[in-house]
A and B are shown apart, each in its own frame.
Chain A
Amino acid sequence: MANWCMVIDLEKCVACQGCSIACRMENNTPVVSPEEAKNGRAIRWNDVFPLPVHIAPEQGEYPNVKTHYATRPCMHCENAPCVKTCPVQATYIDEEGIVRQNYDRCIGCRFCTVSCPYGVRYFNWYAPQWEGTLEEHLNPDKLSVNGSLEGPAPRPVGVVEKCTYCVHRLVKARERADAEGREFRADEYMPACVQTCTGKARYFGDLDDPDSTVSQLSKSLRATHLLEDSGAHPKTLYLAEG
């Protein structure tokens, strides 16, 4: 079985936020009003933000500081704290290393959001809504696993959601390969953010395949993770700048 992994080259990233927009359009993330966004209710499965997030005094005073931009999907940790703390298994790691989300089972206790050290999880505070013509451009894809909604179709109020490495695209690609009567190839599947990236800074593939790009990149001296010692064993790899 594959072990899907994303590698992000921060040297090539120009922080254009194309990945965040593509993710929003692909996954039908609801929009919120500016007041709500200021209160920290914006939902951005892929977020682009400056690092370090909190500038310590010894790092200088703005604007004389050293910062760089990072783009952050879900880490799809191998020892995910969110999976461990979900009381109903509304989030789980499947056999291909993707941390999945079951929107029909989630009870909205938000224990997973509180356990995640990376802040990749978001909650639907109100029923999702889209303004004006955005409603006409929702992604019609829908992934149902054992009768439960897991795919990009709009989620109801009161459930937790997060980046799923666009797993509905994986299922679609596999089904297409089956329909065409051929083997499924790993490079047929890539999340929307990887497909869109302006600077070609994002790579996606099977970490267990020694010939894949991500596998080769993971051996780079620049390869690192966010919050390496969180104990969660994050999988999403970053290639540090410099």
Chain B
Amino acid sequence: MQPILTAQDRENLVSPLFKFDRQFWMTIAALLVVTLPGLVLYVRQLFLGLGVTDLNRPVFWGAYLVNFIFLIGISMAGTVISAVLHLLHVEWRRPITRIAESLTVFGLMTAGLQIIMDMGRPDRLINTLLYGRLQAPLMWDIASLTLYLLTASFALYLQLLPDIAFMRDSTPANAPTWRKKLYSTLSLGWRGNKEQWARLEKAITAVSVILIPIGVSLHTVTSWLFSTTVQPGWKSTILGPYFVVGAIYSGMGLLFIAVAFATQYNHHLKGYITDTFYKNLGWIFIVMSFVWFYFTLNETLVVTTEQETLEFPVMAAKLFGEFAPAFWGMNLLMVATTWILIALKLSAKPRKNPLFKTATGVVMTVLAVVTFLALALNFPALSEPFVELGLLIAFIVFFILALLGLTGWFQAHLIPSTVIASAFVLFGMWLERWNILMPTLTHARIIPYTTYFPTVTEIALTISTFGILTLIFVVFYKFFPSVSIWEVEAGRAVEMKNGG
């Protein structure tokens, strides 16, 4: 068997792992600066109590729970991409499976942190182990999360195993001995003979199959935290599928951003993660967009039409009340995302966008944002009925012109546009979780309506969470290759066999 991995490949994929250069340390330093304030404020919260947040009665759950559901949602990335595409034998998945699976594991770990941050008595966490009641949806969530985390970690480890052995054999002489020892221990004596490969492939297929129901169950069970209560806005029977769809949607967004970040950080990876990946996954992204819209329409239309006395105040708050900016903002972000993704499919040959079109697009974007804020902030001077209507029409015009003007730019820049679309999706999905939790909590039935806005502690801890997620990502990929080396080789072998 001739070597498919060239020296250049080794230079691109393996050498960066042993270079602790300035870029690495600067990244770590920046992430620590972003993460530490939140941790300090968390210690303060531990001492003083949850009173340091803006939680109150009846808003007993807030930013931490929104983050929890959001992070569980983005953990779907690994399952869908890796497992489903593996089972369908889709070749273009090969370079990004490693990043996808690791996002699941890291996302779930940080999601677990959110629950601990939200508990009134984290020192009593052991009570859930000693006195767990099977009837409580929280216990189902703990079970599902633990199972998913274990299975996803196992899947990641399985697919990492041949590469760990490769690292063991490719460690340069000047690397520290503990590092070589780490790889030899973790490689479990993998030799790469035919029988081992056959068994590994069988195991990977089996794990891919069971990952899918476990992943779906986690998001469904998380939705059951809400839909099994009798609170208006949560009492929805389709909350389970809605959460699963939202999870796949936001998971893909995170995957695009993570892959773009990885290729920016290590430019050599661009040779392996090509435009094909963005183009192919972009199709699935568009489909998920429409499925998400379908579910949102369902949820909104049904309740709005029924106008049931106890349910409608919550929906009204979202449609034209104090949650209107968050609700419509979310929908607009998803519209913009879908437009960008479809635009990317419409251009056969991307040409450079005429400058005046891009400039108009940018100006219109700024105007659209300003009008949106003017509408959202509800200034008394602007509340005259026709002034408000005028602002609304102006906003719609600016929004459409912005998207039209920038379409050419999007089409000429595949990866930045996909990243922008993904960022919109992530922000929009975070807003969606906010829109599920907060309207119901702030509009209780026999408690006066209240408001809620995250305090410095909650905002800092949210930032810290994403800082921690990125830190784990960066450190992990300093020890293990971010592109699956054996999969790339296998992909090339398949290409050669098919007459490439």
CA distance A90 to B445 in the complex (A): 25
User: Chain A 74-92, CB within 8 Å of chain B: the 1/0 string?
Assistant: 0000000100111111100
User: Chain B 432-465, CB within 8 Å of chain A: the 1/0 string?
Assistant: 0000000001001111111000000000000000
Determine the chain B residues whose CB is within 8 A of the CB of A157 once the complex forms: 49, 120
- Which interface residue of B118, B128, B131 has the most chain A CB atoms within 10 A? B131
Among B56-64, B193-201, B240-248, the one that faces the other chain is B56-64
Question: B231: CB under 8 A from chain A?
Answer: yes
User: Chain B 381-395, CB within 8 Å of chain A: the 1/0 string?
Assistant: 000000000000000
> Which A34-50 residues have C-beta < 8 A from chain B?
36, 39-42, 49
Question: A196: CB under 8 A from chain B?
Answer: no
Q: How far in angstroms is the closest Cβ of chain A from B7?
A: 55
Question: A130: CB under 8 A from chain B?
Answer: no
Q: With A124-B120, A125-B50 known to touch, is A81 a contact of B56 (CB < 8 Å)?
A: no
CA distance A67 to B137 in the complex (A): 38
Is B125's CB under 8 angstroms from A85's CB? no
Candidates A40, A108, A227; contact of B56 at CB < 8 Å: A40
Is B120's CB under 8 angstroms from A106's CB? yes
> Which residue from chain B places its CB closest to the CB of A102 in the assembled complex?
B131
Q: With A87-B138, A114-B441, A227-B445 known to touch, is A108 a contact of B121 (CB < 8 Å)?
A: yes
Question: B229: CB under 8 A from chain A?
Answer: yes
> Which B15-57 residues have C-beta < 8 A from chain A?
48-51, 54-57
Q: How far in angstroms is the closest Cβ of chain B from A165?
A: 20
Q: List, sorted by A's number, 30 A–B pairs whose CB atoms are closer than 8 Å.
A: A40-B448, A54-B449, A56-B309, A72-B446, A81-B229, A84-B136, A85-B228, A85-B229, A86-B133, A87-B139, A88-B128, A88-B130, A105-B127, A106-B121, A107-B119, A107-B120, A107-B128, A109-B120, A109-B138, A111-B225, A114-B60, A119-B57, A126-B48, A157-B120, A158-B49, A158-B50, A158-B120, A159-B120, A226-B446, A230-B230
Is B120's CB under 8 angstroms from A108's CB? yes
Q: Size of chain A's interface in residues, with CB distance under 8 A?
A: 48
Question: B354: CB under 8 A from chain A?
Answer: no
> Which residue from chain B places its CB closest to the CB of A86 in the assembled complex?
B136
Question: A117: CB under 8 A from chain B?
Answer: yes
Candidates B56, B121, B441; contact of A41 at CB < 8 Å: B56
Is A119's CB under 8 angstroms from B138's CB? no
> Which residue from chain B places its CB closest to the CB of A83 in the assembled complex?
B135
Determine the chain B residues whose CB is within 8 A of the CB of A88 once the complex forms: 127-128, 130-133
CA distance A185 to B55 in the complex (A): 43
Determine the chain A residues whose CB is within 8 A of the CB of B231 once the complex forms: 114-115, 117
> Which residue from chain B places its CB closest to the CB of A115 in the assembled complex?
B229
Q: A-side interface residues toward B, CB under 8 Å?
A: 36, 39-42, 49, 51, 53-54, 56, 72, 81, 84-90, 105-111, 113-115, 117-119, 122-127, 156-160, 226-227, 230-232
Question: B267: CB under 8 A from chain A?
Answer: no
Is A113's CB under 8 angstroms from B60's CB? yes
CA distance A87 to B143 in the complex (A): 12
Determine the chain A residues whose CB is within 8 A of the CB of B139 once the complex forms: 87
Determine the chain B residues whose CB is within 8 A of the CB of A159 once the complex forms: 120-121
Question: B497: CB under 8 A from chain A?
Answer: no
Determine the chain A residues whose CB is within 8 A of the CB of B119 once the complex forms: 107-109, 158
CA distance A159 to B49 in the complex (A): 10
- Which interface residue of B56, B59, B121, B447 has the most chain A CB atoms within 10 A? B121
CA distance A109 to B49 in the complex (A): 13
Is A125's CB under 8 angstroms from B229's CB? no
Determine the chain B residues whose CB is within 8 A of the CB of A113 once the complex forms: 57-58, 60
**B: interface residue count bin:** 35 or more
CA distance A197 to B135 in the complex (A): 38
User: Chain B 117-151, CB within 8 Å of chain A: the 1/0 string?
Assistant: 01111101101101111011111001000000000
> Which residue from chain B places its CB closest to the CB of A70 in the assembled complex?
B446
CA distance A41 to B56 in the complex (A): 5
Candidates A81, A158, A230, A232; contact of B121 at CB < 8 Å: A158
Candidates B50, B131, B313, B445; contact of A89 at CB < 8 Å: B131
CA distance A85 to B50 in the complex (A): 21
Please give 14 more A-B residue pairs, beta carbons under 8 A apart, in addition to A53-B447, A87-B142, A158-B120. Answer: A53-B448, A85-B136, A105-B127, A107-B121, A108-B50, A108-B121, A114-B229, A119-B57, A123-B60, A158-B50, A158-B121, A160-B120, A230-B230, A231-B230
CA distance A185 to B138 in the complex (A): 41
Is A41's CB under 8 angstroms from B446's CB? no
Is B138's CB under 8 angstroms from A85's CB? yes
CA distance A86 to B135 in the complex (A): 8
Is A39's CB under 8 angstroms from B56's CB? yes
Candidates A49, A127, A226; contact of B49 at CB < 8 Å: A127
Is A53's CB under 8 angstroms from B446's CB? yes
CA distance A106 to B448 in the complex (A): 26
> Which residue from chain A places its CB closest to the CB of B133 in the assembled complex?
A89
CA distance A111 to B118 in the complex (A): 11
Is B51's CB under 8 angstroms from A110's CB? no
Candidates A36, A54, A86, A110; contact of B120 at CB < 8 Å: A110
Candidates B50, B58, B124, B450; contact of A107 at CB < 8 Å: B124
- Which interface residue of B120, B122, B137, B444 has the most chain A CB atoms within 10 A? B120
Is B124's CB under 8 angstroms from A40's CB? no
Determine the chain A residues whose CB is within 8 A of the CB of B133 once the complex forms: 86-89
> Which residue from chain A places its CB closest to the CB of B442 in the assembled complex?
A40
CA distance A42 to B230 in the complex (A): 24
Is B449's CB under 8 angstroms from A87's CB? no
CA distance A39 to B448 in the complex (A): 11
CA distance A85 to B61 in the complex (A): 15
Is A110's CB under 8 angstroms from B48's CB? no
> Which residue from chain B places its CB closest to the CB of A125 in the assembled complex?
B51
CA distance A231 to B461 in the complex (A): 37
Is A232's CB under 8 angstroms from B230's CB? yes
CA distance A42 to B138 in the complex (A): 27
> Which residue from chain B places its CB closest to the CB of A36 in the assembled complex?
B51
CA distance A202 to B58 in the complex (A): 26
Q: Which 8 A-B pairs have CB atoms at the shortest separation, nearest pair first?
A: A108-B120, A158-B120, A40-B56, A125-B51, A87-B136, A87-B138, A157-B49, A126-B51
